[in-house]
Structure 1
Amino acid sequence: MVSPKLPLLLVLLHAVFGSAYRWYNWQFEVTCQSDAYIVPEDEAATAKFLKEQYPRGSHIKVVGNGHGFGNLTTCVDNSLTEKPTYIVSLDNLKHLSINKEDMTVTFGAGWDVYDLIKELKANGLSFDHLGVERVQNFVGASTTGTHGSGSSTGNMASQIVGLRVLDSQGNLRVLDEKHNGEELKAFRISLGALGLITEMTIRVQPTLHMKKTTKVLNATSDYSKMYQELAQLYREHDRMTVWGPHFDWDADTQSWALEPTYFLSWWEPTDYTDVQNCTLNYCANGCGDCKKEYICYDEVTDAISCPPQGVCTREFYAEIEHFFPIEYYAEAAANYTIFQQSQTPRMDAPYNHQMVIQHRSLKGDDTYLSPVNTYNLSPELSGVFGVIEIDWIQEYNNFTTLWQNQELAMEFLPHFGEIYNVRPHWNKMSPPNPTYTLEKFPKLPEFLAIQERQDPKCQFVNDFLVRQLGITRCQDFLSS
């Protein structure tokens, strides 16, 4: 059966008579139109739907909350193909079980990060690491490489110890660390290319409290000096995020003006459990009264991330996020900033407002398509990655400005990729270049072999995946 609010039969009948469903990402610059929006009631109904669609070769794309900047989750638009094309939501898969003996939580694919946090708190548990926001679907966020900051902290996917996955024929595959741990390394960050994840099991920990310290620093146009000082701070603090430097758009001079100050925060475990007050200021997301020095204490998820009400930036913005060995951090950060400033004359579209450069660190891992995989690192490197993010934020929503800034964002990887062994965050301005992808993700051939087994008719791919991963057998996926 499927959800009573959206019966499968009704959806398919609507598709026959020309009804369609248009999908958008969170800021409406990525969109596609499918024949229908499918919401199965449970895993069995999901498998049944896949079995029915396999003979037709239907295009199938699972979506969460659309919190992405690129076209990774775009469905195959029904104007491009004669085959049926569907968007699938697994929102109804909301079962959950907690095992405190082995400190794991198993849950259906419909859970969002925000709701999972509440369940863990109610049971005296915490995530070890998350991204800065909680608005995403957990499966979608983790399997695209979402992360927080910490030199001994991995991305969200590193917490995954088990999965239930349906292939394109509706066959179930159960993965865990004990029985097929090597294959689990491919599925942890699968980009939607390996099937429909219906259930996930992750490691958790007893409630963890953190002390958050925020400091205000003076900015300088001597970028080399500024970033060398930050590199030293990263050596001193395990979990640290730098929000800055900040630049404001000067409409009169058509240039970016460096703000005199910026701020950073670091987190450390604490036994203090009295007043929990980090949620009074949502600076985990760079908004609130952030440029002030303070100390707060809270449960780890409230100390490092913010709930939907703490998401202050609703305007369009373009973003890049690049990962590279942290040993290159000071030099790379300076050169990224210099390159950005050298491109200022191009940024003459209306409504530019602010540009913020953010810096984090992340522990490397052994996951096939993780942006912080350690497979091609030389022995002298630590396996810790620096992360540079640049956000171009608008004063008002304007597509011309958005597209202009995204065009510039695409140029950073070609400029710096080979120099610093850079890997972009999936779904954030990743140029489609399979040769480069193979160099930075040496396990890509093994991933593609699994992808062919899971999706022999290329039903789960889209243009982004085919071009970015070099899935040559799927080059004619629209028609074949």
Structure 2
Amino acid sequence: MVGHNLTILLVLVHAVFGSAYRWFNWQYEVTCESDAYIAPVDEDDAAKFLQEQFAVGSHIKVVGNGHGFGNLTQCVDQTLTNKPTYIVSLTNLKDLNIHKDNMTVTFGAGWDVDDLAQELKANNLSFNNLGVERVQNFIGAASTGTHGSGSNIGNIASQIIGLRVLDSQGNLRVISEETNAEEMKAFRISLGALGLITEITIKVQPTYRLKKTTKVLNATSDYSQMYTQIAELYKEHDRMTVWGPHFDWNDETQDWDLEATYFYSYWEPTDYMGASNCTLNYCANGCGDCVCSRQFYAEIEHFIPIEYYAEAATNYTLFQQSQTPRMKAPYNQQMVIQHRTLKGDDTYMSPVNTYNLKPELSGIFAIIEIDWLQEYDNFATLWQNQELAFEFLPRFGEIYNARPHWNKMNAPNATYIQKIFPKLPEFLAIQQRQDPKCQFVNDFLVSQLGITHCAHYLS
């Protein structure tokens, strides 16, 4: 009851004094203002809060650490509605239970990836796959399909085998592979649309060492030749990331200069037991205790059946170069293209779902990422490059069955989303059950997913 009273007190303080809570994503270009920031002390406290807010239909947005490039986690701004609107953080839910007998770990929604990784490491356990960033909240990262690189491993959500979730009325549902396997396919990547996930259980594995090898490649403006070479390398190595080619901004010519070389890294199991290390600014594939660099940048990340990779990467690069004459904002610095792979899966809203693949395709996806890096954290340049990033999916989506990483410059087109996510109707049926008053949605979810029964959620 103490936690419940604290929550109510926080809400009342904001209501009485007319204050508000402003939320930002990690690079401050996405923001919203809510009536209050709510941090329940436990699952019961969260359920009571939801029960109270259901009566008035309050807008509720659960946030992690704000590491996103789009407005998926943006709350409904208080200037847009007459209903209460809240930011909810589950940071206090920090229970942790390690089960070495069946190699699973059950933990609360408050755990961030880095903190959880350290706990697992202390118990000689590890994840099967990690994303690049460790600053993310684990459930937040899983709920958007975050991943590393590996043709035979899935994204981090594929490790989830059970969870506890509260619907908008505060009712608890326990979902697992054993009791309701089909619904688990919806909840693994829920986009925050299906309720407050308070706890999850994931598969883990014994910690083992990987040897990282990095090699240099020569770049060429014959992009088809360059990407055909990379495609062959992916046949040789399972866990591999290609960092490049790199283009440097030339202020005098107002054009991109192609760097002469770029590099790729691959990881292999090893029995080496000496000192370990890793690349300083790259944390994927569980490479160790890394410190990742931070700066403003725009980014797209598209998942494409690997059989289309060489042609798609060539055309993506040519298209990016064709945008150059419009890059007039100051402080462009570098444009980097990165390439990875990922195993397809059977999860409703996963960017690597295999539901609509042609039978001759392998079910492995290539990942093409383009990063527009800036010399300074300048909003004019950031917004210019984000506008350029939005153009790729309309240009290449239909051609290559491209799927965007959630919250990374998605084009708001529900018709296309239905095509690349054939299980969307099943997902929306669960969404309507979990959130009948559309309290968990925002403009991104309504427009992206085409949630017709939420069309008037602001009224």
Is this a same-fold pair by TM over 0.5? yes
Rounded Cα–Cα distance in structure 2 between residues aligned with 1:214 and 1:6: 52
Amino acid of the residue matched to residue 428 of structure 1? K
Aligned-partner Cα distance in 2 for 1:249–1:230: 24
1:399 correspondence with 2:346: no
SS in 1 for 2:230: helix
2:319 aligned with 1:301: no
- 2:318 counterpart (338, 346, 355): 338
User: In the aligned structure 2, how far is the partner of 1:349 from the partner of 1:2?
Assistant: 52
CA contact 2:48–2:170 (8 Å) conserved in 1: yes
Q: Which consecutive unaligned segments of at least 5 residues does structure 2 have?
A: none
Counterpart position of 1:324: 304
Aligned residue identity for 2:164: R
Q: Is 1:446 matched with 2:429?
A: no
CA contact (8 A) 2:60 2:439 kept: yes
* Separation in structure 2 between the aligned mates of residue 143 and residue 251 of structure 1, nearest angstrom: 40
Match of 1:354 in 2: 334
Q: 1:264 maps to what in 2? A: 264
1:2 and 1:156 map into 2 onto residues whose CA distance is 35
**TM-fit CA distance, 1:4:** 9.9
Contact kept? 1:2, 1:42, Cα under 8 Å: no
Which residue of 2 is the match for residue 424 of structure 1?
A: 404
Distance 2:261 2:311 in 1: 21
Please tell me whether the aligned partners of residues 61 and 87 of structure 1 are also in contact (alpha carbons under 8 angstroms): yes
* Structure 2 partner of 1:291: none
What displacement does 1:283 show? Answer: 4.3
State the percentage of identical aligned residues. 75
1:77 aligns with 2:71: no
Mark the runs of 5 or more structure 1 residues left unpaired by the alignment: 287-299
Rounded Cα–Cα distance in structure 2 between residues aligned with 1:204 and 1:142: 15
For residues 2 and 339 of structure 1, what CA distance do their matches in structure 2 show?
A: 57
2:294 aligned residue: 313
**Aligned counterpart, 2:187:** 187
In 2, the alpha carbon distance for the partners of 1:16 and 1:58 equals 17
Runs of 4+, deviation exceeding 6 Å: none
Asked whether 1:388 is paired with 2:368, we answer yes
Question: Is the contact made by 2:372 and 2:385 (CA closer than 8 Å) also made in structure 1?
Answer: yes
* Alignment correspondent of 2:110: 110
- Separation of aligned partners in 1, 2:7 and 2:366: 47
Of the candidates 282, 285, 289, which is equivalent to residue 284 of structure 1? 282
Q: Matched residues in 2 for 1:178 and 1:361: separation?
A: 29
Partner SS, residue 79 of structure 1:
helix
Q: Does the 8 Å CA contact 1:3/1:39 hold for their aligned counterparts?
A: no
Counterpart residue identity of residue 326, structure 2: R
Structure 1 residue 254: deviation in Å? 0.4
Deviations 1:75-124 (A, max 9, x none): 00000000000000000000000111110000000000000001001111
1:208 aligned onto 2:208: yes
Which whole-Å CA distance do the structure 1 matches of 2:252 and 2:91 have between them?
Answer: 48
Does structure 2 retain, via aligned residues, the 8 Å contact 1:320–1:389?
A: yes
Is the partner of 2:87 in helix, strand or coil?
Answer: strand
Secondary structure, in 3 states, of the residue corresponding to 1:179? coil
Normalising by structure 2, report the TM-score.
0.98
Provide the aligned length of Structure 1 versus Structure 2: 459
Contact 1:32–1:75 (CA<8 Å) still a contact in 2?
yes
Counterpart contact for 2:281–2:292, Cα < 8 Å:
no
CA deviation after TM superposition for structure 1 residue 276, in Å = 1.3
C-alpha deviation, 1:33, in angstroms:
0.1
Compute the RMSD of aligned alpha carbons. 1.4
